[in-house]
Chains A and B, each alone.
Chain A
């Protein structure tokens, strides 16, 4: 069992709490992505798990064994670095074999493991070359093969794809995901790229300013962000935020949107019902806003916005809209014809709104209904 447990882990650099009281458990053979903007402490946390950074308080357990004060070599982990850290003076073969030789494994077994790792990453033909003779993508494969050959049960990856060019990154992303599933290692994967996080992780741990803000599977994190930051960090375009106030209108709750429009709430949660009269923020994903011509086929809730920019992206059109002072992003079909400066009616389904406190930015009530009513294509 290679379960990773972080108990109240904190790291302090001078006066900065780089990692602040992090509590996180990564299950056996799970793939968890640490996601956050640069400087949020995700790499520091990963390095703490590797033993390259010592922590100030808390405990780290790998497979039930406390490793908090052990050096990296005694933790039985393998790590892939952002810069690949492939040894330039050794051949590809010796690079992959490096850790095995340190463990004094028999040379026949070393050869077998190196060759099978190289096979998995399609670098079998380069084994006798030096890293200088390889492309960036191939070097990256060497770094991954070197980690896999350790067969350590825990693999730590620090932005392994960030130095690759865009096309290669998309290709490697899928390949890495398949590979890590195949070798069944418990994986922590650090990235600042939310697309990478959504597409690869079994679960995503979103970090900000040293704290883990939310842990959940990709869909949860995407459609039910724990706070405003997560909503704005994850997803492209980021979540829209509308300022609104709750009103009790007879027996019904209605959200009055700043800038005009009323959204009736049919099945408000108990938590939300307590917030009548308070300022709230409605978080809504671009694909959950239906855009319609104002006069003709308006199913809208009276939210009228001005279209500022139309960006045809092939599979869909991305609209930038202005509602009062607020900028919104909405997605329409690629053939939906709307001119800039035209007023459009918006229909926002109340069941898909993530309600947030306007001051703290924290989510209120249960997660909204997931999924998209408007197929982007």
Chain B
């Protein structure tokens, strides 16, 4: 028996058949269009990342080659090592980590209870509060930073990791509150009530039931804060002089640096964010899907 599909004689193709084919063709076209646009968008983001990565792992002289070959011919860690060994990079890296960790802890400590309250209690002015949180995003850091710098100078914490960490906490808080509130909304209230009928105090019920269930979401919010702080440069530049975080340092020395140094710096800044987002992406998509619903 032949497994080949026999072509149908044209005379037998009914009108319905033709219509079905036409619709099929149109669907194919639509799908092609969607994939085409998606590919373009992906390239828009991925191409620079790819070029940066390739350049930072190429020997220095290759970087100036023209035309560029898309496939790296030689791999070398020279640029990366050069960047890592230059003055101030390691201390700045350490400061960046400290700032990000402090911002992470503070934003969770302040943001998660607020998120919980938004999720669980119908209090007067809840919607206004929610709106207020979002509206803080309407003030550009550019405008906020100058008065903040003055305030920090007066308070005596200018040019320290604490001022930057506080600033980053403030920047991250709206997201932390909204993300954690959506996380706590997804933990049914009846679970806490059930725990209470089974012998828990309200606090214990929260700790034994809601917290473990919310943990992945809280972790996502924390990591989000970490990435935000790690990448934030404007406030860091304004609020520090000598005690710079890594992005602030890179930005300030960038103009006087050779090209390989810049590529290496870019890769250095890029990598942690990419790794983090890679690990939490599935959770974030789930989370946002729920918020949109």
Task: Tell me which of B113-121, B187-195, B217-225 binds A.
Answer: B187-195
CB atoms of B194 and A79 under 8 A apart:
yes
Partner of B194, one of A71, A85, A89: A85
Partner of B193, one of A52, A77, A89: A52
CB atoms of A81 and B193 under 8 A apart:
yes
**Chain B, Cβ-Cβ closest to A50:** B197
Closest CB in chain A relative to B42 CB, distance in Å: 33
How far is A252 from B202 in the complex, measured between Cα atoms in Å?
Answer: 68
How far is A77 from B209 in the complex, measured between Cα atoms in Å?
Answer: 19
Closest CB in chain A relative to B9 CB, distance in Å: 50
Partner of A89, one of B190, B204, B213: B213
Query: A91-135: which residues lie under 8 A (CB-CB) from chain B?
Result: 98-99, 102-103
How far is A88 from B201 in the complex, measured between Cα atoms in Å?
Answer: 20
**Chain A, Cβ-Cβ closest to B204:** A102
Report A41-64 CB contacts with B as 1/0, cut-off 8 Å: 000000000111000000000000
Residue from the set B188, B193, B195, B198 with the largest chain A CB neighbour count within 10 Å = B198
**Chain B, Cβ-Cβ closest to A158:** B190
CB atoms of A52 and B197 under 8 A apart:
yes
Query: A65-87: which residues lie under 8 A (CB-CB) from chain B?
Result: 71-73, 77-79, 81-83, 85, 87
Interface size class on chain B is 10 to 19
Interface residues of A (CB under 8 A from B): 50-52, 71-73, 77-79, 81-83, 85, 87-89, 98-99, 102-103, 146, 150
How far is A99 from B208 in the complex, measured between Cα atoms in Å?
Answer: 12
Say yes or no for B199: interface residue by CB 8 A criterion.
Answer: yes
- Chain B residues in 8 Å Cβ range of A89: 209, 212-213
Partner of B209, one of A50, A73, A87, A146: A87
CB atoms of A102 and B200 under 8 A apart:
yes
Given contacts A85-B193, A102-B198, 10 further A-B contacts (CB under 8 A): A52-B197, A72-B193, A73-B198, A73-B201, A81-B190, A82-B190, A83-B188, A85-B190, A87-B194, A102-B200
CB atoms of B198 and A52 under 8 A apart:
no
Say yes or no for B53: interface residue by CB 8 A criterion.
Answer: no
Closest CB in chain A relative to B21 CB, distance in Å: 42
CB atoms of A73 and B190 under 8 A apart:
no
CB atoms of B193 and A99 under 8 A apart:
no
Say yes or no for B196: interface residue by CB 8 A criterion.
Answer: yes
- Chain B residues in 8 Å Cβ range of A52: 193, 196-197
CB atoms of B195 and A98 under 8 A apart:
yes
- Chain B residues in 8 Å Cβ range of A87: 191, 194-195, 209
Closest CB in chain B relative to A75 CB, distance in Å: 8
CB atoms of A98 and B198 under 8 A apart:
yes
23 interchain pairs (CB within 8 A)?
A50-B197, A52-B193, A52-B197, A71-B196, A72-B193, A73-B199, A73-B200, A73-B201, A77-B197, A78-B198, A79-B194, A79-B197, A81-B190, A85-B191, A85-B193, A85-B194, A87-B191, A87-B194, A87-B195, A88-B213, A99-B197, A102-B200, A146-B198
- Chain B residues in 8 Å Cβ range of A73: 196-201
Residue from the set B193, B202, B212 with the largest chain A CB neighbour count within 10 Å = B193
- Chain B residues in 8 Å Cβ range of A83: 188, 190
Residue from the set B193, B196, B199 with the largest chain A CB neighbour count within 10 Å = B199
- Chain B residues in 8 Å Cβ range of A81: 190, 193-194
- Chain B residues in 8 Å Cβ range of A99: 197-199
Residue from the set A52, A73, A77 with the largest chain B CB neighbour count within 10 Å = A73
- Chain A residues in 8 Å Cβ range of B195: 87, 98
How far is A52 from B204 in the complex, measured between Cα atoms in Å?
Answer: 15
Residue from the set A77, A102, A150 with the largest chain B CB neighbour count within 10 Å = A102
Residue from the set A72, A78, A82 with the largest chain B CB neighbour count within 10 Å = A72
**Chain B, Cβ-Cβ closest to A150:** B198
**Chain B, Cβ-Cβ closest to A149:** B198
**Chain B, Cβ-Cβ closest to A79:** B197
- Chain B residues in 8 Å Cβ range of A98: 195, 198
Closest CB in chain B relative to A77 CB, distance in Å: 6
Closest CB in chain A relative to B217 CB, distance in Å: 13
How far is A50 from B195 in the complex, measured between Cα atoms in Å?
Answer: 12
- Chain B residues in 8 Å Cβ range of A82: 190
- Chain B residues in 8 Å Cβ range of A85: 188, 190-191, 193-194
- Chain B residues in 8 Å Cβ range of A78: 197-198
**Chain A, Cβ-Cβ closest to B212:** A89
- Chain A residues in 8 Å Cβ range of B199: 73, 99, 102-103
- Chain A residues in 8 Å Cβ range of B201: 71, 73
Closest CB in chain B relative to A146 CB, distance in Å: 7
**Chain B, Cβ-Cβ closest to A77:** B197
How far is A71 from B193 in the complex, measured between Cα atoms in Å?
Answer: 11
**Chain A, Cβ-Cβ closest to B215:** A89
